[in-house]
Structure 1
Amino acid sequence: MPEQRTVVITGANRGIGLELARHFAGEGCDVIGVCREASSELKEVATRVIESVDVTTASGLQSLIDGVKGLSIDLLINNAGLLQDEKLGSIDFDSIRTQMEINAYAPLRVAEALVSQIPYGGKIANITSRMGSIADNDSGGRYGYRASKAALNAFGKSLAMDLKPKGIAVAQLHPGYVQTRMVNFGGLITPEESAKGLAARIEGLNLENTGSFWHSNGEELPW
């Protein structure tokens, strides 16, 4: 996608975020990797790394804003996330609040803070989960993760509607069941395979399909 030159990725130090950084660097993009703690792998591929960023805090958000000041951001990927488990009868509501902060509120904060730097034709990709689909929930549990991703989907849909007149397209993207630390490496596809699929969905994102909820394999998912 030659028109997208500057890509900002949160949670870029490992897993899916790192593979997305590798992919877009390989496409010739300037990749700005945002994370709490940089990895050597990210430093090898990113144009710039902005570390010590906790996007759930005002100071962390300000560090991100300062780090990208003056840049025109063609693609913002909100990738940072947290998966925890709660079961009925022993629900940890602090865990749910934390997941809401990281998985839902933080991407909205980042999008609001950086949208003025996204030009007409720019894109926002929110890495969500099909576990945020209410229609697709046939197994229960994971109260905090499901709720936080459902909230992210709602935020992303509203962003898509609000930003369409500005020429900015927004997608909610499920990466698949990926072999990352988040799931103790028990997934079905590699981070590389996931990143390739996500990149294809981002490339196909436009103002006609903005607001969509896609699997990385191209399947449109139910809300």
Structure 2
Amino acid sequence: MSENEEGSSVTRVKRRNPGKLVWVAVVSLALTMTAVFAPPPALLIVACSVPVAATLFLVWRLRPRVGGGIVRREVVFRDDVIATWVGGRWRAYSMLQVTAVPDVVKGDAKRFFRMLYLEGVPFFYHVRQGPAPGWVVEGGRDAALKASGAWKTSIVIGVWGEGGLEEAVREARVRAEKAKAFFEASFPHHKVEVLRGGGLVDVLRECFP
């Protein structure tokens, strides 16, 4: 405060920064609007739950369907093909079983594997040998089996396709037909057939216990 020659006093007022005043006004307005228009807690919970429920419904609704029914446990059965959901895509399996092996004529396994390789057909094979069920009897069965030589050998060849459900199923069927043709060309007088129904399920359980 300072005095002039006439003794009158002049008060000096510190001026405020306009920018800060604007920010204070904006924050005050935002808080006021929030207090006025903010929904009550119950309404806020409902508003947050609706998008979550809608998302879950869409996920359920868009699940793969086969024959009008929703796929359960991510496995689809198509008589000669079984498809499973693996790593974000479908993998469909088709299986061939050797049903007759002649005693005299021998095949060329190397040729068979080479034909599959050149065609880019992924495959696996499973061989199991055990006592024939008809000879399993109570009491001394091991001796009887060894003496009779009643043993059964099961030879299975599997192929698969990957991608979308229909694409994987179609690819597995095509590859199974190719594998069947290659086997018959490499093993004359042998018989091989595509597994279907319960036989396919049993073999897959045996290969992938």
TM-score by length of 2: 0.24
Q: Which has the larger radius of gyration?
A: 2
Q: TM-score, normalised by structure 1?
A: 0.23
Q: Which has the higher contact order (CA 8 A, sep 6+)?
A: 2
